[in-house]
Amino acid sequence: MAAEKSTREAFGEALVELGKENPNVVALDADLSRSTMTKLFARQFPDRFIQCGLGEQNMISIAAGMAATGKIPFASTFAVFASCRCFDQLRICISQPNLNAKIAGTHGGITVGEDGASHHAIEDLALFCSLTAFTVVVPADAIETKQAIKAAGNTDGPFYLRLGRPAVPVLYTEDYRFQLGKAVTMRDGKDATVIANGIMVSRAIEAAKQLATQGIDCRVLNMHTLKPLDEDAIIQAASQTGVIITAEEHLLHGGLGSRVAQVVVSEKPVPMAFIGIKDVYTKSGKPEELLQQRGLTAEAIASAVMATIAKKQSK
């Protein structure tokens, strides 16, 4: 069994390390530090932790003010509240003036599970990608999260980092080197490419393994940086494999699938398929049950790959 760890936990630890390296790093939270794991930073640096109470919009604008004054604020709350509740504050106070503020949204996607529709962040990535100044990162595991947090802290400009609640498989080893805006080839292949991010990366790898037993050689890309996209990797995949499938824990609109499709259609049109949540609010249930219900599984990816390869061949 591979080791498992949640990306929010890795975020909490990485923030402490970043705090040690750079005294300008500060953390803000809105009455969720026990869940977002900024409590670790609060314990280590009580004077650089700002408890905002249950006031997310206020928190975002405060973070912006601190960024305007030379601090490197990491503001954290659940992904739903960070995106939906604070959108105007993000747009006016952070994105338009292009300030050096970092937003960490934990409990992203539907793997929040039992809390239900109000807590399922399925549109956060679309919203953050629409904020023109933002860099948007969706790490796949704990090791990538740590490095992404460091990269965000050390790169000027606004960032959104989407993190998850449950423990997820660790895919990388410590010698992994995260590069902002550069997709990672998790597995090479020539028949099709699955482009995934977040929790869907491990599922895409699993799908590729299943397909290999049927003689299908599937490439898997981890598109951890959703914005800016690694267009070269996408065009190369389209040219070399002729089939692209995207897989994301998000609505099909405005996230990975939409963004990759724009590149494919304009640069190298090939048959595509999209794994994600179809225009629906998901309800309470166990994380794995919800993923099964919405077809966010290795099996669903594998059959989408087969069906799309068939389209390529019939062309």
Ligand X SMILES: Cc1ncc(C[n+]2csc(CCOP(=O)(O)OP(=O)(O)O)c2C)c(N)n1
**Chosen from ligand X, another protein, none, partner binding at 236 (C-beta under 5 to 8 Å by type):** none
Asked if 32 touches ligand X (CB under 6 A), the answer is yes
In the range 211-240, which residues lie near another protein by CB under 8 A? none
**Chosen from ligand X, another protein, none, partner binding at 306 (C-beta under 5 to 8 Å by type):** none
Asked if 283 touches another protein (CB under 8 A), the answer is yes
Distance from C-alpha of 29 to C-alpha of 60, rounded to nearest angstrom:
10
Instruction: Give the start-end residues of each E strand in 37-151.
Output: 49-51, 72-78, 102-106, 135-137
Q: How far is the CB of 35 from ligand X (least distance, A)?
A: 8
Asked if 266 touches another protein (CB under 8 A), the answer is no
Asked if 31 touches ligand X (CB under 6 A), the answer is yes
State the CB neighbour count (10 A cutoff) for residue 215: 7
Q: Do 145 and 139 touch, CB atoms closer than 8 A?
A: yes
In the range 84-103, which residues lie near ligand X by CB under 6 A? 85
Among 49, 74, 81, 274, binds ligand X (CB under 6 A): 81
Please tell me the number of Cα atoms within 13 Å of 5 on its side-chain side.
19
Q: Do 225 and 136 touch, CB atoms closer than 8 A?
A: yes
Determine the 3-state secondary structure of 36 from DSSP. Answer: helix
Task: Give yes or no: 21 in active site.
Answer: no
Q: How many residues does the chain have?
A: 315
Binding mask 43-72 for ligand X (x = CB under 6 A): -----------x------------------
Candidates 49-57, 175-183, 195-203, 230-238; binding stretch for another protein (CB under 8 A): 49-57
Six-digit token pair at 305? 């790959």
Distance from C-alpha of 178 to C-alpha of 180, rounded to nearest angstrom:
6
Among 262, 286, 307, 310, binds another protein (CB under 8 A): 286
State the CB neighbour count (10 A cutoff) for residue 287: 19
Residue with tokens 């423990």: 167
User: Which active-site residues does the annotation give?
Assistant: 56
The footprint of another protein (CB under 8 A) covers 29, 31-35, 39, 51-55, 57-58, 80-81, 84-85, 113-119, 283-286, 289-290, 293
